[in-house]
Chain A
Amino acid sequence: MTLRHTLAPLALVLAGLTVAASAAEPLKVGLMEDISGDLAVIGLPKLHGSQLAVEEINKAGGVMGRPLELIHLDPQGDNARYQEFTRRLLSRDKVDVLIGGITSASREAVRPIVDRTQTPYFYTNQYEGGVCDANMISMGAIPEQQFSTLIPYMVEKFGKKVYVVAADYNFGQISSEWNRTILKELGGTVVGEEFIPLGVSQFAQTIQNIQRAKPDWILTINVGAAQDSFFEQAAAAKLNLPMGSSIKVMLGFEHKRFAPPALNRMHAAANWFEEIDTPEAADFKKRWHAKFPNEPYINDMGYNAYAALYMYKDLVEKAKSTKLADLRKVIATGQACIDAPEGKVCIDPKSQHTSHRMRLISVDDKHAVKVVKDYGTIQPYWLGQIGCDLTKKNDRKQYTPSDLPKKS
């Protein structure tokens, strides 16, 4: 036997050994969630959702046989920290996938950095929509899913005159744009619009303005603990108008945190809220509360964070690779879907946003939540409609109804 003959099988054995080792080598998940600071009440369920998903996936054998390793950093809601940690996770820890960010500002801080790499970035919050970026996969609900269901319902049920109370920054202003666009098609009118700076907590003037304008219902897209004082003050003044929102109840679980009847007559359109009553949802809730018995509420962001890891698992296993280009090939087929506790969720190839099963909920004066209407699955159609097609080009921009892609 020549040396070559002994070496060849030896090489094969060694190769087999290294393959086996990398089969057990973990997949690193870089997670940036705020669990301290003002956003902690929303951020903590997100961390828990990721932790639960990692535990379940690893118990079931991991992703392609590889366990998930969660590396979590807490940026405390500071954009500079988000930038630092993104670089750290990408360059130093060399994570395979990046998840996280709560505010749109933090997401916009992360995107330029992650766009220079081949790492996928899952943004798991509902937001104002419009990001057309090949590195980003958005797991949250967006205006065409939330406002296109909520506003027609409110107009039909309560009337065409709307007063808008919005937080005075991008999310509030873009959501207002959406509201105006949708209302115009329905023949409704905005009888008043107020943009409240973050941190303002006194609303006596706003309540008076609302009463002067005599709307049929109020669109409440105010953000932050200080601005949430609006509900208590409006209830105390017996304003008692129906309210609609894309961010109350399922995001900050105000109906659990404020004394009734502050949130009476609130309506929201959500892909997830803890009160969903299906067998899958019940099972999911049971598993969550088993691991986190003190969780005050499983909010939609926490749920999206959980679903994101399952979506990542599905993508990697279908692509048989962790490379962004291969994952995107799977997305382009339109077959990137998972069976989530809300229902079936698929990634839209053109925008890389997910479809959602939308339900409309209302809150009564005892703060009990009721499902009023089930809209089935709604696709994230808007970005594709205005010209974003990530299967063809990577715009890397965020569009809004008043800032559309230039027709080239």
Chain B
Amino acid sequence: MFAEIFSFAYQFADVFAFLILAAAGLAIVFGMMGVINMAHGEFIMCGAYVTVGLVHAGLPLVLAQALGTLAAGVVGVAVEWTIVRKLYKRPLDSLLATWGLSLIVTQGMLLIFGSSLAGIGTPQGSFSIGAYTFSTYRLVLFGCALAVLAVIYLVFMRTRFGIHARATMQNASIAQATGVRVGRVYALSFGLGAALAGFCGAMYAPTMTLMPTMGAAFLIESFVTVVVGGANVLLGTAPAGVVLAVVRTALNGWGGQIIGQIGMLLAVIVVIRLLPEGLSGWLARRTR
């Protein structure tokens, strides 16, 4: 009995972790700047590839993952400075530009590194409850998802940067008028979003096959979570993760993976229709 309950909770935690880790970076970039970063998957891939490369070079896993995250963040700042900065008022153009970037990066990686990279094993062992065995690492991933949410909360609520960022999110021109260096806020926000994407890639790298196009495996889930969550990443992402994790787990259990996948996409359509501002908009209105 306990095993069944734990199993369901584990499944939920697993899907929740995937959704949060995949979506966090995209949510910040979209929520902050209204930029739809179609290259989000490539930042994930960057984190994963740097991590695996460093592990193959001999570094311990945790250090490699930290450096992978950092690498993605740095690349994010560079991309923001060269490309995204010019496209803030043009959401459709930013979509296209980041898409072009995504094509360039994936094809370039395919050309340089070939289509597959040797993987690294999943660390830590497993534990069993009842008839089931579980990989311990996936609980670590759940912990990371919670940590990411906590970090985002702390950064945006308790730091000066956070206050500037929230002010810019609400009204960029007024914020600028009060002396906030909006350009720097944008750059750091995009970098933070990219770093979170890299973190997702770094954490999932030991559990997946590595391909230049591996970002695509995260893209649908992250978009769905961001859309359902709405523009306010603080208010929306976590509830969206919970709702979608429940939906996905239930549908997977009931009808199999294809129903789960189609169900997620239909959920997007329904949510956009009924709650155009996502969960964060709905929650914000209720708390007023």
Contacts and interface: CB of A to CB of B under 8 A. Distances in A.
A196 B258 CA distance: 7
Interface in A191-246: 194-197, 199-202, 204-206, 208, 211-212, 214, 225-226, 228-229, 232-233, 235-239
Contact of A257 (B7, B118, B206): B118
B224 interface: no
Nearest to B211: A225
A168 B258 contact: yes
A98 to B, nearest CB: 24
B261 A238 contact: no
A237 B257 contact: no
Contacts of A40: 110, 114-115
Given A195-B258, A196-B257, A225 B214 contact: yes
Given A41-B116, A204-B138, A212 B252 contact: no
Interface stretch (B86-94, B129-137, B177-185): B129-137
A245 B10 CA distance: 29
A258 B52 CA distance: 12
Interface stretch (B120-128, B195-203, B236-244): B120-128
B222 to A, nearest CB: 13
Given A232-B208, A235-B122, A262-B121, A212 B131 contact: yes
Given A40-B115, A258-B119, A260-B121, A236 B214 contact: no
Contacts of A278: none
A208 B132 contact: yes
Give the residue among B18, B209, B261 with the most A Cβ atoms within 10 A.
Answer: B209
Contacts of B125: 238
B147 to A, nearest CB: 19
A37 interface: yes
B66 interface: no
A204 B121 contact: no
Interface string A305-348: 00000000000000000000000000000000000000000000
Contacts of A37: 110, 115
Nearest to A211: B132
Contacts of A201: 208-209, 214, 217
B115 A226 contact: no
A211 B116 contact: no
Nearest to B258: A197
Interface in A61-78: none
Nearest to A254: B209
B92 to A, nearest CB: 26
Contacts of A208: 7, 10-11, 132
A226 B214 contact: yes
Interface string B133-177: 111011000000000000000000000000000000000000000
Give the residue among B119, B128, B249 with the most A Cβ atoms within 10 A.
Answer: B119
Given A205-B249, A225-B214, A228-B209, A38 B119 contact: no
B78 to A, nearest CB: 26
Nearest to A260: B121
B195 to A, nearest CB: 22
Contacts of B126: 236-238
Nearest to A208: B7
A181 interface: no
A235 B252 contact: no
A211 B6 CA distance: 14
A276 B252 CA distance: 41
Given A41-B116, A232-B206, A232-B207, A205 B121 contact: no
A204 B211 CA distance: 21
A260 B128 CA distance: 21
A171 to B, nearest CB: 15
A38 B7 contact: no
A225 B131 CA distance: 29
B100 interface: no
A36 interface: yes
A205 B207 contact: no
A233 to B, nearest CB: 6
A334 B107 CA distance: 46
B253 interface: yes
A259 interface: yes
B216 interface: yes
Nearest to B134: A237
Nearest to B122: A236
Give the residue among A37, A199, A202 with the most B Cβ atoms within 10 A.
Answer: A202
B150 to A, nearest CB: 23
Nearest to A210: B132
Contact of A237 (B133, B211, B214, B216): B133
B237 to A, nearest CB: 19
A391 to B, nearest CB: 41
Contact of B118 (A195, A235, A259): A259
A237 B119 contact: no
B256 A195 contact: yes
Interface string A233-276: 10111110000000000000000111110100000000000000
Nearest to A229: B208
A233 B261 contact: no
Contacts of B116: 41, 225, 257
Interface string B35-57: 00000000000000000000000
A109 B67 CA distance: 45
Given A237-B135, A259-B118, A200 B208 contact: no
B108 to A, nearest CB: 11
A214 B131 CA distance: 9
Contacts of A39: 115
Nearest to B127: A238
Given A37-B110, A257-B119, 14 more contacts: A38-B213, A39-B115, A41-B114, A195-B256, A196-B257, A197-B261, A201-B217, A202-B18, A211-B131, A211-B132, A214-B131, A226-B209, A236-B207, A259-B120
20 contacts: A40-B110, A40-B115, A41-B114, A168-B257, A195-B256, A197-B258, A201-B217, A205-B249, A205-B253, A205-B257, A208-B7, A226-B209, A228-B209, A229-B209, A232-B121, A238-B126, A238-B128, A239-B133, A258-B118, A258-B119
The 10 closest A-B pairs by CB, nearest first: A236-B122, A236-B135, A259-B121, A40-B115, A238-B126, A237-B135, A229-B208, A204-B14, A201-B217, A41-B115
